[in-house]
Each structure stands twice: as C-alpha cells, then as structure tokens.
Amino acid sequence: MMQQSAQVLAVDDDPTMRLALQGMLQARGYRCAVVESGQEALRYLDRHGADVLITDLLMPGMDGVALLTAVRSQGLLTRCIVLTGYATIANLTACLREGAVALVAKPLHDPQPLYAAIDHALAQLAMWRAQMAEILRQRGG
C-alpha cells in the first residue's frame, strides 16, 4: 500500500546518505525531510510529525535504538525503519523491541527493500488509524 503523500523523515549522520535517501524518497513521491541526528529528528517530529521515520543505527550522540525508544516513549504513531551496515541478530532484536517495523541493510544498492519496508509501515499505520476511527465511531466520538 503506497501512500505517496506520506511524510517520511530520514535521519543519518552521513551527508551523502542523507542526500541519497532524500533523492530515493522524493523520486517515489513521498514528502521527505532529512536531518543529521537523533536530537534533530525528535525536534522535527515534535514540530511537524511524520508517518515514517527512517534512521541510521550507529550515529554519534543519540543512536538509532535510543531514537526509537524516545519516539515510542512519546506515544507517536510514527512507524520506524532502521538502516544499518551492522545488521546483526542483536541489533535486529534491540530495534524490534523498541518498535521498529523493519531493519534494512546498507549500503542501499537497490532501494526496493527500503520501499517494501515503507509500504509495510504505511499499511500498518493505515490499519491502526482505521481501527482507531472505528473505535471512536462505535463510542459516538
């Protein structure tokens, strides 16, 4: 399920990767913002929100797992995808525990795994929003 008007926020400390992500996401029709740190991502989410957050795992300061934890603790519906060159079972487990819907390996020679993860995240978000709307409808709200 591709929602091309979806807002995607990408976080990576590598400027080349940020530029590549922005190009890939915009080429697919997403509204896209890119930032270089977990702290910047939290500020962006607080001001603008996002449907999907794509974060690097290893970054100086706040790493990807800490960012996922912060997003989850704020109760945001934003679905999170982790990009990493360090795809291990331990990293996958830590990311899933903190609410990531996917772990995508870098380098991204082929954007299809990332696109599939975004499609999955947006489908999950749409399902949750529909369920919430139905609950509110049933309650008369």
Note whether 79 and 52 are within 8 A (CB): yes
Position 55 scores a pLDDT of: 97
Position 1 scores a pLDDT of: 42
Domains and CATH numbers, the chain: 7-138 (3.40.50.2300)
Position 132 scores a pLDDT of: 87
Position 15 scores a pLDDT of: 96
Position 96 scores a pLDDT of: 87
Q: What is the DSSP string of 15-76?
A: HHHHHHHHHHHHHTT-EEEEESSHHHHHHHHHHH--SEEEEESS-SSS-HHHHHHHHHHTT-
Question: pTM value?
Answer: 0.90
Sites in the chain below the pLDDT cut of 50? 1-2
pLDDT tens digit sequence for 44-56: 999 999 999 999 9
Position 46 scores a pLDDT of: 94
